[in-house]
Structures are given as structure tokens and as C-alpha cells.
Amino acid sequence: MGWKIRATCILIAAGCLPGGCRRRDMEFVTIGTGSMTGIYYPTGGAISRMINRKFKQYAIKATVEATGGSVYNINAVLAGDLDFGIAQSDRQFQACRGLAEWTDRGPQTDLRSLFSIHPESITLVASLESGIRSVEDLRGKRVNLGNIGSGHLQNAREVLAAVGIGEDDLAAERVRALEAPSLLQDGRIDAFFYTVGHPNSSIEEATFGHAKVRIVPIEGGVAGRLLEHWSYYSESTIPHAYYRRAANAQDIASVGVKTTVITSVRTAEHVVYAITREVFENLDEFKELHPAYKTLTRTDMLKGLSAPIHPGALQYYRQVGLDRHIPADLVAP
């Protein structure tokens, strides 16, 4: 990455903006997602297909990039290496306020949001042999916290902090989520964290090996401290029906964040408008992409945002009356 393409074409783009017909350059945009086994990658793919099939109307060509996840996407968008990215709501919150990875750089005031999508639950998977039945049992165990630059690494750290466990109190690994199931099945780790929407193929893979596993609940005092301390967390439930081979006998309580679509203040308004409009106008089709999207509503997609709404997205929300659901502090002056 780090390169961008812009081709000038003699195209007439009509009807996409209230300004009527006008001649303009063809736009090439890239959407940063996550690993190919997670939900971010097909989400980015669906958004790109929606905009690409309206090329005659918008003169926009979108491509999808598999990336390291939330932190990478935010930084790449801010640097101009990506036009759009998918990121957890907590990472958006931290970037806007200059927290976590952005402590030294301060608040990232150029970050902008479009909308949020599905909820993501902090998912802790452990082998039965490890004896791990709660977060407190992780002390002294071999645990994959997540790769550097991923949202679930920070979530894992916050869960551990809620029970007073530091990274030095366990044998911490920091590999990608798609590598963790095989490490667990091979007995090289005892447990792993993955913040993700459900059902998920990596979690399913972890339940299908010879080593029996349990999805460990994050509840009670642990959940209470997370909910009290961080505004971006909310209670969530992982349906047992998605992972019947796990040792759990019922749905698993956890806490989670939301997936958000982000861009920078430099992205052209007509591009952001087009992407926002296509997703919202084709929401029923979008919801068919993944079971995690089944309960999505247009108003839900305006929750969990911390960065100011990009003017291009706000233009669409005002046209359809959704702007009344947007907190005033998210409307940039």
C-alpha cells in the first residue's frame, strides 16, 4: 500500500448528488478490512460491490485490502494509505482522544466516521485440559492476546486489567486470530482472545479438533468493571447454537463493542455520500451477508461512534431524516 491511483476519465455522472449532472474524475478508493477469515473482509467486499455496480452513476471504483485490523486501518486512513477502514468502536474512541496507541501523538482530529455495523463480542476460548473456567483462571497460563495493531489485543488487556492480571502474570502470545485455533488444538497455548462477530469460522475451527474447548464467559464483576470504566462496552451474548461442539451447555455471556466504518476529513464528500447511501438504501441485502447483521436497523448504525460524522455521510442522513439520531457532538462544525 502507500500508493494511490487517480485516473481522469471523460464521464458524465448523473443523479448521485443534488447538484445534478457534472463531469468529474473517476475515483479509486480502497477499504481496509482485517484477516480473510474474519467478518471485516466480507463486509468490505459487500460495500465495494454495492458502489462498483453503480459505477455509471458515481464514477467510483472500490477495492478491498486485507489488513492487520483496527489500529492498522485507523493509522492507514489517517496517513492517506487507505481511504476507508473498518475498526472497532473502542479503537475509534481511543484514537479520537489520544489514548492507547495514540497517547504519544495525541487526539487524531482528522478521523471521521460513517456508520457502525454489527456488535462484536470479546470471545475467550480455552481448552478443557487447561482447567480455565473464568478470566481469573488465566493467571500463569499460555494465552494468545492478539496481534499488534488489532482491536482484540487491547480488549484482552482491558479484560485482564479488570481482574488485576498483568501481561507478565501469564505467558502471552501475540499472533493473529486465524493462527490461534491451531495453536490451541496443538497444545501450544491454553486459551485465546478474539473480539469478533458471531458466528465466526475461526471460533468454529477451534471447537472442531480433538482437543475439547470451552468458550469462557466474561460476566459478573469482570463485566461490571469493564462496563463502568469504558463507555464503548456493552453486554453481549454469544449463542451456543453457533458452536455446538464446544463444552458449553448454554449461551455465553460476554461484553462487546461495535464495528464501525471510518475515513478521514480529507476524503471527498461525494465519495462518502455515495458509499453511505448505497449501504443504507440496500440494507436488507447487506443484512443477508452474515447472521451477525440480521438485527441491524438504520438507527442502530448511528450508535457506537466517537469520531465526528463525515459531511458526506451527514448529507445523506439529513436527506432521509436520520440526523436527529446523531448526537450534537458528532456533527463537526
The reported pLDDT for the residue numbered 25 is 75
Residue 234 binned pLDDT confidence (cut-offs 50, 70, 90): confident
Question: For the chain, how big is the Rg over CA atoms in Å?
Answer: 20
Measured between alpha carbons, how far is 3 from 318 in angstroms, rounded to an integer?
Answer: 34
Give CA angle at 209 (208, 210), nearest 5°: 130
> Pseudo-torsion of CA 54, 58, 64, 68, nearest 10°?
-140
Measured between alpha carbons, how far is 229 from 24 in angstroms, rounded to an integer?
Answer: 48
Residue 196 sits at φ, ψ, to 5 deg, of -160, 160
User: Residue holding cell 473480539?
Assistant: 195
Long-range pairs for 200-205: beta carbons < 8 A, 24 or more residues apart: 200/37, 200/38, 200/39, 200/123, 201/37, 202/37, 202/38, 202/177, 202/178, 203/123, 203/125, 203/242, 203/243, 204/242, 204/243, 205/181
End-to-end CA distance of the chain: 32
Using DSSP's 3-state secondary structure scheme, residue 126 falls into strand
Domains of the chain with bracketed CATH: 6-118+258-330 (3.40.190.10), 120-257 (3.40.190.10)
Q: In terms of DSSP bridges, do strands 191-196 and 84-88 run parallel, antiparallel, or are they unpaired? A: unpaired
CA atoms within 13 A on the CB side of 96: 22
The reported pLDDT for the residue numbered 12 is 32
The reported pLDDT for the residue numbered 24 is 56
Measured between alpha carbons, how far is 278 from 25 in angstroms, rounded to an integer?
Answer: 20
The predicted model gives 295-320 an average pLDDT of 94
Q: Say what the pTM is.
A: 0.79
The predicted model gives 148-166 an average pLDDT of 92
Give CA angle at 25 (20, 26), nearest 5°: 100
Which positions ≥6 away from 305 have C-beta within 8 Å? 89, 92, 113, 115, 116, 260, 330
DSSP H/E element including 86: strand 84-88
Measured between alpha carbons, how far is 236 from 149 in angstroms, rounded to an integer?
Answer: 24
Residue 29 binned pLDDT confidence (cut-offs 50, 70, 90): very high
Residue 98 binned pLDDT confidence (cut-offs 50, 70, 90): very high
- Is the pLDDT reported for residue 14 higher than 80? no
The reported pLDDT for the residue numbered 121 is 94
The reported pLDDT for the residue numbered 293 is 85
Burial class (CB in 10 A: 0-12, 13-18, 19+), 291: middle
Residue 2 binned pLDDT confidence (cut-offs 50, 70, 90): very low
The reported pLDDT for the residue numbered 43 is 92
CA distances from 76 to 69, 82, 168, 221 (A): 11, 5, 30, 36
Which positions ≥6 away from 158 have C-beta within 8 Å? 226, 229, 230
